[in-house]
Structure 1
Amino acid sequence: MADSMKTDKLPFPILIGDIGGTNARFSVLTDADAEPIPFPNIRTADYPTIDAAIQNVVLASTSVRPRSAILAVAAPVDGDEIDLTNCDWVVRPKGMIAELGFDDVLVVNDFEAQALAVAALPRDFLDKLGRGGEPQLASRVVLGPGTGLGVAGLVHAREIWFPVPGEGGHVDVGPRSDRDFEVFPHLKRIEGRVSAEEILSGRGVINIYQAVCKADGVQPSFSDPADVTARGLDGSNPQAVETLSLFATYLGRVAGDMALIFMARGGVYLAGGISQKIIPALKKPEFRAAFEDKAPHSELLSTIPTFVVTHPQAALAGLASFARAPSAYGIATDGRRWLR
């Protein structure tokens, strides 16, 4: 394993991978000036291992042989075997070098990749929510409700962007409004606590919906988050409508907390599939009102812009930006880069 803290360039061609709990996305960057070669998105459950997925989806369908790989994974990167948090895959970089022919493998947290993306994404891929000023060249925060809730910071210093990965999706969330106190007793908990991820994720949509149904004394009609969001958006089910309203409110509260922690004058960015699907709900007043409702700092929060990231492959775009110009980013590779 390499000991260097430098962000040395990896040799091209580079395989870029974004490995989530449910889906995996790959592309190959042949050189610093090329557009990435895309490959079909896959479901992690359809392949027994990440190595099998790379072999079948990438290596079997192109004559380009990647010399290195940059993989963003939904898990803490610790040691030679990296267990993904929400799926059965285990990333073994030494095995990839031995079996798949890579010379160099770098593994980062998936929300580091999302943070890299918001440093470089064109404005065309950002949909603004509510008011707030223009983003400054300053700290930023990314939140991504999906299979789980990813959170990362992005700090700007010495003309370099430093992504700050963490487990911010597991902070506690508590009730505030009268309605919260009716709904919260019915929420499923982890060891007695309501964590942000338990309500701000796919399963979180169902968690809120079932709690709302219990509070209202009605039987739940849906068990799939996609059904709840669809009925909430079209207004055809009152509990689903309220679920989306509460989801937007709770997401606004957590996003505001993270903005305060990082003093994110560069903006707060909502990534992930759920955010893109519920943009109409996030553009209603609840999200932004909850985001700004942070006395004694409500005025500060009112100046910070909030966006939904609409790029279909934002993490891959972020990793590609890093692969092209690693010196523009402060990514420590110690303990996360393996060489042949």
Structure 2
Amino acid sequence: MEQRRDGADALKFPILIGDIGGTNARFALLLDSFAEPKMFPVVQTADFETVDDAIQETVLDKTSVQPKSAVLAVAGPIDGDEIDLTNAPWVIRPQQMLAGLGIGEVIVVNDFEAQALAISSLGEQSRMKIGGGEVHEGASRAVVGPGTGLGVAGLVRARNMWIPVAGEGGHVDLGPRTARDLAIWPHLETIEGRISGEQVLCGRGLVNLYRAIAAVDGADPVHTTPADITDAAVNQKEPLSIEAVDLFATYLGRVAGDLALIFMARGGVFIAGGIFQRIMPILKTDQLRAAFEDKAPHSDLMREIPLFVVTEPLAALAGLATYARTPRFFGLETTGRRWVA
């Protein structure tokens, strides 16, 4: 039965936390409010028919601990008792989890809400600063992350709580700025004639961009996966891949700058996601920062806003763990997203 919930209510330990994306799922157990999360191997969503199967085989069959609560972050909109993942065939059915997995309470949040929870307390050892600007404590923050899709979330401070703001910001329009962009744009694959941020700034988006560059140059594309393109770029093997990754970073810088303005993110904008971590060895940080700040008539303002790359590979799980330990510190609305046995 679904119930209303006051965000300050404590969760019962042990708590299962899970970050469920379009490609990979990551799970951990939080035994008490002081323990570090007990991590389990990363699994691919394609290897299991359902999320329940993945939890049973990956977690419950590997430990004698029976979780009493679960907090799951999923890559998709949460709108009812059946939650479809945007880029994977899994359907999350919390009522079924309660009955089949022996869990007493399930809370489901958006995957980038979890990233927003993470950046509320991300230490300097888990982030890399790009360019200038200083963090204004208590000011709004934003996070953007290219992965299977393009995730976006905000984080605002009010009433002594951090409040994550989820949405589908990865689907905003993305337009050309330079002469090279204008040459590339007609060759990008669209969705009903529209080029959104996610059409370029995610795994398949990188392939889309790579193919468009090849078409402009009259070259034959060699690579078909984002991993092959990033590998070729990092190892300086192919000019098409190198340019694709360079432009990918520039375009992401532009979107990150847009988010800085939307949220007035004086607390910083954070770039998350595995794709970006893979290209960091060849990242031209000056170009990325320039694209971030190129927001006339607000370029002076943009120079004051810090930009970070999240270097913690399991940031979403860290964010979920932070929330699970102390939900009273977060204004996370769980009405319609909480199920109890």
With the length of structure 1 as denominator, give the TM-score of the two structures.
0.98
SS of the aligned residue for 1:278 comes to helix
8 Å contact kept, 1:279–1:308: no
8 Å contact kept, 2:163–2:331: yes
8 Å contact kept, 2:26–2:40: yes
| Structure 1 residue aligned with 2:103 | 102
Q: What is the Cα deviation at residue 131 of structure 1?
A: 2.4
Q: What is the Cα deviation at residue 284 of structure 1?
A: 3.1
Amino acid at match of 1:288: R
1-side partners of 2:5 and 2:330: how far apart? 15
8 Å contact kept, 2:82–2:93: yes
| Structure 2 residue aligned with 1:190 | 191
Between the two proteins, what is the percent identity of the paired residues?
A: 59
1-side partners of 2:36 and 2:134: how far apart? 32
2-side partners of 1:135 and 1:202: how far apart? 32
8 Å contact kept, 1:136–1:267: no
Any residues of structure 2 matched to 1:81-96 within 5 Å, and which?
81-96=82-97
Amino acid at match of 1:55: Q
SS of the aligned residue for 2:109 comes to strand
Distance 1:155-1:300 versus aligned 2 partners, 3 A rule: same
Amino acid at match of 1:198: Q
Single out whichever of 229-238 and 208-217 deviates more from structure 2.
229-238
SS of the aligned residue for 2:120 comes to helix
8 Å contact kept, 2:7–2:330: no
8 Å contact kept, 1:129–1:283: no
| Structure 2 residue aligned with 1:291 | 292
SS of the aligned residue for 2:19 comes to strand
1-side partners of 2:5 and 2:35: how far apart? 27
Single out whichever of 125-134 and 34-43 deviates more from structure 2.
125-134
Q: What is the Cα deviation at residue 280 of structure 1?
A: 3.3
Q: What is the Cα deviation at residue 135 of structure 1?
A: 4.8
2-side partners of 1:215 and 1:132: how far apart? 37
Q: What is the Cα deviation at residue 282 of structure 1?
A: 3.5
Structure 2 segments unaligned to the other structure (5+ residues): none
8 Å contact kept, 2:139–2:265: yes
Distance 1:161-1:323 versus aligned 2 partners, 3 A rule: same
Any residues of structure 2 matched to 1:259-298 within 5 Å, and which?
259-298=260-299
| Structure 1 residue aligned with 2:10 | 9
| Structure 2 residue aligned with 1:145 | 146
**Alignment RMSD, CA only?**
1.0
Single out whichever of 68-77 and 126-135 deviates more from structure 2.
126-135
Single out whichever of 93-102 and 229-238 deviates more from structure 2.
229-238
8 Å contact kept, 1:135–1:305: no
Structure 1 segments unaligned to the other structure (5+ residues): none
Q: What is the Cα deviation at residue 132 of structure 1?
A: 2.4
8 Å contact kept, 1:7–1:331: no
